[in-house]
Amino acid sequence: MKIIVLLGAPGSGKGTIASRLARCDAVRHVSSGDLLRERVRHADTPASREAAEAMRKGALVDDHVVDELMLEHLQACAPGETLILDGYPRNERQAATLEEEAAIVGADITAAVWLEVPEPVLISRLAGRRVCSVCAANYHVENMPPRVEGICDRCGGKLYQREDDQPEKVDHRLHVYRDQTRALIDWYASRKLLVRIDSKKDADETAACVARAVLA
């Protein structure tokens, strides 16, 4: 099993790029955010309630909750797969945990791809993002609109704006990223795993650049 970590601020396109890469054979997109939202929807436990409250505020969910979800998922994947991790790890402690767990299951962390985007572009992307309430497909009101306004092309579900994409939450999310997750760039650079990709471009073009860099 191979593991590729996607790094980048909220709005850098991690989910969109990972979804496109997952069209390749034996490549799986693993989103910590999707796993958390699934847990919140289908489980009523202290951990799920804690996660729901953090997500409502645009804050980070505690490490132990995210670690548990991601590591359970990692252990359930097939040995020949390539996993694209979107949203995990988000700090050095989680990165160390991932390294340890990867070694246990015989997986190799082969690259950490940093999707670089200027902050004004990030803010615009987050403000315009819409998500399907049924299948979680991503759209943008200007850059990637659905064929019918407010309706998912894929499944016909209703589109909505995530609470943490609302303007008052975006500044806080970017501050949290700068304060915590940005340190991972140095972490992976020190291990000679960092790959820098300009992610201002069209999503298909960016995904092609990432695929050439880490999947070829």
Whether 162 is catalytic: yes
Q: Which residues, including other chains, have CB under 8 Å from residue 148's CB and lie 6 or more apart?
A: none
**Catalytic residue (choose from 39, 130, 169, 173):** 173
- The secondary structure of 95-112 as a DSSP string is HHHHHHHHHHHT-EEEEE
Q: Which of 143, 167, 121 is nearest to 12 (CA)?
A: 121
Whether 173 is catalytic: yes
**Catalytic residue (choose from 90, 125, 130, 169):** 90
Whether 28 is catalytic: no
Residue 92, CA distances (Å) to 39, 49, 63, 106, 181 in order: 24, 25, 11, 21, 8
Between CA 121 and CA 128, with CA 123 as vertex, the angle to 5 degrees is 95
**Catalytic residue (choose from 125, 129, 130, 169):** 129
**Catalytic residue (choose from 28, 37, 162, 196):** 162
Whether 212 is catalytic: no
**Catalytic residue (choose from 14, 20, 125, 169):** 14
* H or E stretch covering 69: helix 63-76
Whether 23 is catalytic: no
Catalytically active residues are: 14, 90, 129, 162, 173
